[in-house]
Structure 1
Amino acid sequence: MKRMLQGILLFTLICLSVTTIAFAQVKLTMGSWRTEDREFYEKVIEAFRKTHPDIEISYEPTKNTEYNTTLNIALQTGTGPDIIHLRPYTPGIQLAEAGYLEPLDGNIAGLEQYADSTLIASRAPDGRIYGVPAKFSSIQIFYNKKLFAQYNLQEPQTWDELIQIAETLKQNNVTPFAFGSKDGWILALTHAAFGPTFYGGNEFVEKILKGETNFTSPEFVKSVQIMKDLAAYFPKFYTGLGVEEMRTLFTTEQAAMFVEGDWEIAVLRKENPNLDFDCFPIPSATGGKPTVSTWVDASYAVNAHSKNKEAALKFVEFLATKEFGTMVSEDLHSIPTIPGIEASDPLIAKILKYATDPETSTPYMIVVYFNQGNPSTKTEFQNLVQGMYLDQLTPEQVAEGTQKSADTWFKPAAQ
């Protein structure tokens, strides 16, 4: 009897041991610059673990302005995250070329659903795909509905109407635009909002890629001049304000308009749940259609040197499903890259309409096509615009400096 009990006990211990091994936890880390989206990604991880309980994922974001440097150092020292929130286009592709990323085509399902124009955000020169497109982003003007109603203002249909709105607000001691030039990336983004209606949108992009025009053209100079002219409607001491201060001006209703990406919707709602706001595209200065600059805003990649590569690939594959696409729309309040996802949020549905319409959508040109060089042409442009706002440079000098940077690496398609 004693031996029988010992046998049963031994069998039970073996079963428990096998069960423990079967459900052993694989622990992954996910790097990102989206500190604001922690709650969303933890929800995504929870959804993934319903079918993969053996995989734990820790979301570990870094401050936006420090992410690139932090990630590069981590990858160089072999301590990079298993899953990488990849900057779109050139910065991400450079990591692939350096051997830090695992090719995804052939390793995960779901990539076939994306358009080629979407996949270029993470397609390297070798033709391989290194990232699952995260989401589309767009730039528009958010506005305070209460302040607009207070001064009988309507969404502008022309550029002149937008300027008249800004004048009315200024005359009533309301800051028209929540803006600051301290953070360089905001300057490139703001120009991507206002610039296309002056330099010619898609037509200009096609010409510059073919070498038929360049950044010193009168229309591009005009697009930079407009950035300077709008300073009349910015807050006092705007050169010392960063994006957090800009956001605070808008959420505390001190400023009526806020030029930003769609990712701000969730952040604005969280910071001030009572804020009643809407958005509109950039009205045309020439009587044409409004414009909305769009791009693939990051992708999800797998560290080629991850010790748990198989588990990381499973998670990235989940990010190519309609379940995740729906979460992007409904929980992150952003534009999913996965086709066929509709938005129930009226604000997201409105943005989706403009962002996917070829007559209004235009690429975020300097991110999609001019983010190369050392420093990149995008970085150089941002620095030059900062100099313009400090009255150190003219719009013509900004344009000339931008072209000088592009000349160091860019080869037009016609050449």
Structure 2
Amino acid sequence: MSRPRSQAEYLARLVPPSVAGLNRRSLLAGAAGAGALLGTGLLAGCGDSDSGSGGDAKSVSLGSNQSDPKPKDVVAKVMDGFKTSAGVTVNINTVDHNTFQENINNYLQGKPDDVFTWFAGYRMRFFAAKGLAGDLSDVWGKLDGYSDAFKKASTGDDGKQYFVPASYYPWAVFYRKSVWQQRGYQVPKTLDDLNTLGAQMKKDGLSPIAFADKDGWPAMGTFDILNLRINGYQFHVDLMAGKEAWTSDKVKKVFDTWAGLLPLHQPDSLGRTWQEAAQSLQQKKSGMYLLGLFVAQQFSGADLEDLDFFTFPEIDSTIGAKALDAPIDGYMMARKPKSKDAAEKLLTYLGSKDAANITVKNDPSTLVANSGADTAGYTALQKKAAELVGSATEIAQFLDRDTRPDFASTVIIPALQQFIKNPKDIGGLLTSIENQKKSIFTS
């Protein structure tokens, strides 16, 4: 595949995987626990799902999963920008990121906020197909600065748009330049190089690879990149769509390779959050960390300037190292917002270059989706991240966004955590995943 020459061409490869016959299987397996959370107001929205397009047009509610300090502050600044622009107040309902994701189905079936943060691709289409999201086709008629690929990633199976992209970020291996310069480390180009580097870091008293999976999702990034490097992008798409067997030799090779790398990973990862793992990199206790660009949230000042990254090295020379995860974050609208007019005004603003410019000025941990934004304020790290996405031949959305939400949360998360605890029974683990996959994808 030839290397694309423009950002438009790069992003044209960011088309979400096609998954035929989106299944209507309910996500209510955890309804009792989720209902309890809703009852305590942890994910109770401010909107009214039974009301129409009327309501107080001077205010609109936003359900936000941006609970970490930096992104939470950026969201507040963007909403202040909307209030200045439109004279409409945004009431922000911020919920812990994991709680938000785990209870999104119940939230959307209850009384959600008028607008809510969510993800592009499959995870957007899933709820659009269930009738739990508002049609934003009219909003898209007012937007500019987006490639066709971003529009496709925002489009449901019915051809209507249900999502407004705000930002995206690549996953890569991050490290501190000063530590590597001091130790004479070189960026690994192959898996053998990575293993040799990790062994040297161990001798030097470092945890070679910072690692955390207390919240369940970070390990998905490790699985994704190994699968992309070993089996390629199309296999990733087909595996996520339920079209390939988890018991295949190809998947087994991913886990065998991962098992070989586990000794290089920071121990006791199931008791550690990604922020804590990032802090070990920041404190120069770990040599590198595979994560999204948002790792920059844990760095500031000179420490942030010292942060650099490389794409995960090649494993199979016939496949190369050009595919990567680069998820898109953005906003959706409830199916019946209390004020449709105010909600659409907010979403139009959120898709504008003005909103993107506020993000550029305040958040060094992401890339903005609107090409009309002034990115002169990007840090060196952001500029390099944009170039990395630009040079990618294929772009995935991340495991739990490229497959069914119920499969990701109820099967893959516990399976990967079980593997991390006991990497010796890979065959039994993959048989269990495959049996559960068949049940979920054929129901």
TM-score, scaled to structure 1 = 0.81
Match of residue 262, structure 1, among 293, 297, 312: 293
Moved more, 110-119 or 395-404: 110-119
Taking a change above 3 Å as real, the CA distance of residues 100 and 286 of structure 1, as seen in their structure-2 partners, is closer
Q: What does residue 402 of structure 2 align with?
A: 369
Distance 2:166 2:139 in 1: 18
Match of residue 189, structure 2, among 157, 162, 165: 157
Distance 1:329 1:250 in 2: 24
SS of the residue corresponding to residue 184 of structure 1 reads coil
SS of the residue corresponding to residue 230 of structure 2 reads helix
Amino acid at match of 1:225: D
Distance 2:382 2:76 in 1: 22
Match of residue 178, structure 1, among 196, 204, 210: 210
Distance 1:27 1:276 in 2: 42
Work out whether residues 25 and 56 of structure 1, in 8 Å CA contact, stay in contact via their aligned partners in 2: no
SS of the residue corresponding to residue 298 of structure 1 reads strand
Match of residue 279, structure 1, among 309, 313, 325: 309
5 Å-filtered alignment, 1:347-358, equals 347-358=381-392
Encode CA deviations 1:233-282: one digit per residue, 9 max, x unaligned. Answer: 122323322223212212222112111111222x1224985672101101
Taking a change above 3 Å as real, the CA distance of residues 122 and 144 of structure 1, as seen in their structure-2 partners, is same
Encode CA deviations 1:60-89: one digit per residue, 9 max, x unaligned. Answer: 3211110134544444332x2121102333
Encode CA deviations 1:84-122: one digit per residue, 9 max, x unaligned. Answer: 102333443343334332201024534565445433444
Taking a change above 3 Å as real, the CA distance of residues 86 and 212 of structure 1, as seen in their structure-2 partners, is closer
SS of the residue corresponding to residue 156 of structure 2 reads coil
Q: What does residue 249 of structure 1 align with?
A: 280
Amino acid at match of 1:46: D
Distance 1:34 1:119 in 2: 23
The answer to whether 1:304 aligns with 2:335 is yes
- List gaps (5 residues or longer) in structure 2: 1-55
Distance 2:106 2:301 in 1: 33
Q: What does residue 346 of structure 1 align with?
A: 380
Distance 1:99 1:55 in 2: 27
Taking a change above 3 Å as real, the CA distance of residues 208 and 61 of structure 1, as seen in their structure-2 partners, is same
Match of residue 115, structure 2, among 61, 74, 83: 83
Shift of 1:396: 3.0
Work out whether residues 377 and 405 of structure 1, in 8 Å CA contact, stay in contact via their aligned partners in 2: no
Taking a change above 3 Å as real, the CA distance of residues 239 and 74 of structure 1, as seen in their structure-2 partners, is closer
Aligned-pair Cα RMSD in Å = 2.9
Encode CA deviations 1:115-142: one digit per residue, 9 max, x unaligned. Answer: 4543344433322211102222321111
Match of residue 413, structure 2, among 354, 369, 382: 382
Work out whether residues 295 and 368 of structure 1, in 8 Å CA contact, stay in contact via their aligned partners in 2: no
Distance 1:111 1:223 in 2: 41
Q: What does residue 49 of structure 1 align with?
A: 83
Work out whether residues 38 and 59 of structure 1, in 8 Å CA contact, stay in contact via their aligned partners in 2: no
The answer to whether 1:404 aligns with 2:438 is no
Bigger-Rg structure (1/2): 1
Q: What does residue 14 of structure 2 align with?
A: none
Work out whether residues 318 and 324 of structure 1, in 8 Å CA contact, stay in contact via their aligned partners in 2: yes
Match of residue 64, structure 1, among 82, 88, 97: 97
TM-score, scaled to structure 2 = 0.77
Shift of 1:295: 4.0
Q: What does residue 103 of structure 1 align with?
A: 135
Amino acid at match of 2:252: V
Shift of 1:145: 1.4
Distance 1:34 1:393 in 2: 37
SS of the residue corresponding to residue 85 of structure 2 reads coil
- List gaps (5 residues or longer) in structure 1: 1-23
Match of residue 136, structure 1, among 162, 165, 168: 168
SS of the residue corresponding to residue 187 of structure 2 reads coil
Distance 2:242 2:420 in 1: 29
SS of the residue corresponding to residue 257 of structure 1 reads strand
Same amino acid, percent of matched pairs: 19
Amino acid at match of 2:125: I
Distance 2:409 2:109 in 1: 24
Shift of 1:377: 4.2
Shift of 1:171: 0.7
